[in-house]
Structure 1
């Protein structure tokens, strides 16, 4: 119900709401609000109070103010030193803004007074009693409202006024109070207020329960602290500080000071409580202490900041390693992806190659280039699964596995972790350690790696794992599937020469107390050292020979024989003795029945001479020279092809019935095998049977089929280098290996002529001379 409209100045309220019959102080500071207050004081001291919808607005407009508010009487006004006005107001009646008269200097509004609408008297009386009961219970729970307030409220017999007074004492949101202010129907207002008080009372009950729990927990903690302090004081007086309690206290302090995750801290504290209860003489006491110390020693959150800079990584790799361009390129690609994705998840790199080619040092260089700690574990000879996963604590002398031990050494959660000799793991009745490695190397699983000793899961997802192996075929299939293989075949002579001159020799000079002025090695002497004193894919033996040279020179200098030693190609034998190895050289003359093949071994490339002779017999084929199964099959395939093409090759079709044939590969003590000697054997056979000589400057490599097709081979780079070293000028290679020519050093490539073939007829055309040598015919 509304009365006639009246005009009043408007004072917007922030975070506050005034009900009729409510008396309270207000601080007024905004320019428009002060102007409205002064206008009210010049009139009948009545002002309209309405709440803002948003407290944060400093200059509200009409749309930002609720329509329904309270007309109030300004009982007192005081100007404060800071310029704000403090006023005492008393709410008079509800009102609704019908329109805004002025919004410039101050808010002036036209309001319609709202009167309470009453319903059935008995119903309102019942709601009043229910409200008073709920309010009394609220006061008992809240303890923010005094008992005197309840006594004052109880004396009110007007239902609408009771509702307004009770609302003014409640800690409700402005929106809830505004809803009550806008309710003109007294019955609805009472019902809504009873519901709100009931909800508030439930919230207060819950707060009280939470408070009690917190208080109980704090009291328990304080009690434990107090008792421990008393125990420490008693132990100090008795001189027992060095006993078990002292150890427990030290461990507790370490656990409190550590940055372990909450779940690990909880486990450590639980074990610590057990440790205190178990007698010191018990074997379990030392087991528990060892377990807690391992939990403390492991890195849980410590991390180094990655500094992946491709240029810097390139410089470090070039500084530490000469050559290996494709391997370096793959590593830089790997680091670039890590930088872009900001995630370590990806393929596990596995460096595969012979000993001494720099697999471990490459991993160290990667760690140095990205500013990570480096840790290495050797997996060679591991047969027990517990070596990887650890032993359960029920066993005497239980320890964590190699992975957790490595993480302890690393001291951070994101090291570069080298798994050395991953192909040397074995299997026996104690389990399969390679199967345990599957979880370690799987990016989807290693974030929850489980070690039997630690029991709690450990996160390995931030670790950059790099594996090394000597032979691919020894790595279990499932394990290989989780890794990306990067092959490091070895170094060429040119690369070894550079490594020796720029890296190994300066290092050995320093280690043996020499200077460049004391010892010099000529390049031709270094080359002879590489060729005749070492035979390896890597550079370890080369470094040992250089160390030997330095020791010999040191003895000469100290004895006073000479102050300076210069090692030449001739004088090197005086210092190191006779050469240990020989390398193949090409034939000096064209030979019938002897062809030069190119071989690839773990020690690099070499030439392979294949000799064939035939003599009267019954068609027996003899193979000697300690040939492997593959080479024997190549010989059989070459023999069968020549029999099938005897007419085209101008060979007696019945030669296999009238002659015995002997194929021999010199250096019989050395095992030989591989699928690249087929065309060499076939050429030597045709040469022996036709009397046409094989050109002395030609070397060849390629496998042969029964139809005479030439199949591709591997190791062309190493084979080409050995051909160049042996003095060959022409190499016959399979056509499909043309793409590998660019891998050969330019200096070697320029001095060799490559003939690309896809059939044996082409091989014979380029390898054999036209004229027959009668003296060689049988």
Structure 2
């Protein structure tokens, strides 16, 4: 079948259904066939030495006229290769956009196809819209992986507005319904304006995604850094003489604190937990370590789970704390506050 025969339309053609995407004219695409409906359409095209009409499905694996879009690409089968798994691979080259105007047969799918012809757009308006579109595409290419260098160069150097639109639409990820709306749009000026808007939206979406990824990576890096530094600190402490005894003590304090948590005032719980974490970080040779450890053990020995009806003299509590513990004013104040409200 010669490309010149494209002019002899409307014409009856076998219809092959593509499940994944819209195909565009002048693009060579491999298509894998593994169902009887498409196989019959392919056989009919080969038998009649005719063009093939490839239409996208509306529904997954849809093979009836009411399950496919009414538009697609008229093209030729360049090569057919049977595969070991039973499928058939064809190399398909699109020549022109077409539209189903009449259903001829359901088994195999065959329809009368007419060409979709776009309106011409010439002059300053076309050039201005193309320049804006190319600039938007360049901006999108800088923040995404949609466009290869060769494709970007083809778009930048191109002057066929319709062809450039098809190249872009074939590259960016858009929903089938959106692709369909562009596919059947014959007003070239409207198509350029609409595509500029689509690319602008893609740019904004990619920027937002990039910001989110950067924030997530930054947060992960911070967590990893904190973990790494803590591990380094532990190793340094071990080298300086720390051993597993302190780690066991910290775990035991944490365990005892969690068991008493439900009986404790929230402020008391937070303060004891804070001191345990401080004790975990501080080196055992630090003079403050023994005071903190004494405070923790004293606090954890308090029978929070047992409520006494006996009234405590806060002054006596304060006096006893000052007698037993030098400094540690803030922790002692917390303990006094706790007993004051019991």
TM-score calculated relative to the size of structure 2: 0.74
Q: 2:199 matched to which residue of 1?
A: 197
Q: Within 5 A, what are the aligned runs for 1:559-570? A: none
1:9 CA drift (Å) = 0.7
1:61 CA drift (Å) = 2.0
1:121 CA drift (Å) = 2.4
Distance 1:8 1:283, change over 3 A: same
In 2, the alpha carbon distance for the partners of 1:287 and 1:176 equals 66
Q: Within 5 A, what are the aligned runs for 1:32-111? A: 32-55=37-60, 58-104=61-107, 106-111=108-113
Is 2:158 the counterpart of 1:156? Answer: yes
1:162 CA drift (Å) = 0.6
Q: 1:27 matched to which residue of 2?
A: 32
Is 2:334 the counterpart of 1:395? Answer: yes
Please say if residues 75 and 95 of structure 2, whose CA atoms lie closer than 8 Å, have aligned partners that are also in contact. Answer: yes
Please say if residues 156 and 162 of structure 1, whose CA atoms lie closer than 8 Å, have aligned partners that are also in contact. Answer: yes
Please say if residues 275 and 288 of structure 1, whose CA atoms lie closer than 8 Å, have aligned partners that are also in contact. Answer: no
Distance 1:237 1:59, change over 3 A: same
Please say if residues 3 and 113 of structure 1, whose CA atoms lie closer than 8 Å, have aligned partners that are also in contact. Answer: no
Please say if residues 13 and 50 of structure 2, whose CA atoms lie closer than 8 Å, have aligned partners that are also in contact. Answer: no
Is 2:21 the counterpart of 1:13? Answer: no
**What count of residue pairs does the alignment treat as equivalent?**
298
Please say if residues 21 and 165 of structure 1, whose CA atoms lie closer than 8 Å, have aligned partners that are also in contact. Answer: no
Distance 1:208 1:378, change over 3 A: closer
Query: Secondary structure of 2:203's match?
Result: helix
Query: Secondary structure of 1:115's match?
Result: coil
1:232 CA drift (Å) = 2.4
1:284 CA drift (Å) = 9.5
Is 2:169 the counterpart of 1:167? Answer: yes
Select the residue among 235, 238, 245 that pairs with 2:237: 235
Q: Within 5 A, what are the aligned runs for 1:315-464? A: 381=309, 394-396=333-335
Q: Which runs of 5+ in 1 are unaligned?
A: 256-263, 295-376, 385-391, 401-429, 434-778
Please say if residues 25 and 97 of structure 2, whose CA atoms lie closer than 8 Å, have aligned partners that are also in contact. Answer: yes
In 2, the alpha carbon distance for the partners of 1:252 and 1:222 equals 23
1:164 CA drift (Å) = 0.3
Q: Within 5 A, what are the aligned runs for 1:591-670? A: none
Distance 1:289 1:247, change over 3 A: farther
Please say if residues 25 and 94 of structure 2, whose CA atoms lie closer than 8 Å, have aligned partners that are also in contact. Answer: yes
In 2, the alpha carbon distance for the partners of 1:193 and 1:76 equals 33
Query: Secondary structure of 1:184's match?
Result: coil
Query: Secondary structure of 1:395's match?
Result: helix
With 154-163 and 21-30 compared, the bigger mean Cα shift is at 21-30
Distance 1:242 1:60, change over 3 A: same
Distance 1:148 1:275, change over 3 A: farther
Distance 1:288 1:62, change over 3 A: farther
Please say if residues 56 and 72 of structure 2, whose CA atoms lie closer than 8 Å, have aligned partners that are also in contact. Answer: yes
Q: Deviations over 1:442-496 (max 9, x none)?
A: xxxxxxxxxxxxxxxxxxxxxxxxxxxxxxxxxxxxxxxxxxxxxxxxxxxxxxx
Q: 1:223 matched to which residue of 2?
A: 225
Query: Secondary structure of 2:334's match?
Result: coil
In 2, the alpha carbon distance for the partners of 1:244 and 1:116 equals 80
Greater share of helix? 2
Higher RCO (C-alpha under 8 Å, 6+ residues apart) = 2
1:88 CA drift (Å) = 1.6
Distance 1:218 1:6, change over 3 A: same
Larger Rg: 1
Distance 1:205 1:54, change over 3 A: same
Q: CA RMSD in A?
A: 3.8
1:81 CA drift (Å) = 1.1
Query: Secondary structure of 1:162's match?
Result: helix
Q: 1:625 matched to which residue of 2?
A: none
Please say if residues 139 and 147 of structure 1, whose CA atoms lie closer than 8 Å, have aligned partners that are also in contact. Answer: no
In 2, the alpha carbon distance for the partners of 1:289 and 1:185 equals 83
Query: Secondary structure of 1:110's match?
Result: strand
With 190-199 and 243-252 compared, the bigger mean Cα shift is at 243-252
Q: Deviations over 1:658-696 (max 9, x none)?
A: xxxxxxxxxxxxxxxxxxxxxxxxxxxxxxxxxxxxxxx
Q: Which runs of 5+ in 2 are unaligned?
A: 1-6, 258-265, 283-287, 313-329
In 1, the alpha carbon distance for the partners of 2:133 and 2:169 equals 11
Is 2:289 the counterpart of 1:280? Answer: yes
Distance 1:30 1:399, change over 3 A: farther
In 2, the alpha carbon distance for the partners of 1:168 and 1:53 equals 18
In 2, the alpha carbon distance for the partners of 1:136 and 1:289 equals 68
Distance 1:124 1:239, change over 3 A: same
1:168 CA drift (Å) = 0.6
Please say if residues 117 and 186 of structure 1, whose CA atoms lie closer than 8 Å, have aligned partners that are also in contact. Answer: yes
1:225 CA drift (Å) = 2.3
Distance 1:198 1:78, change over 3 A: same
Distance 1:286 1:161, change over 3 A: farther
1:98 CA drift (Å) = 0.5
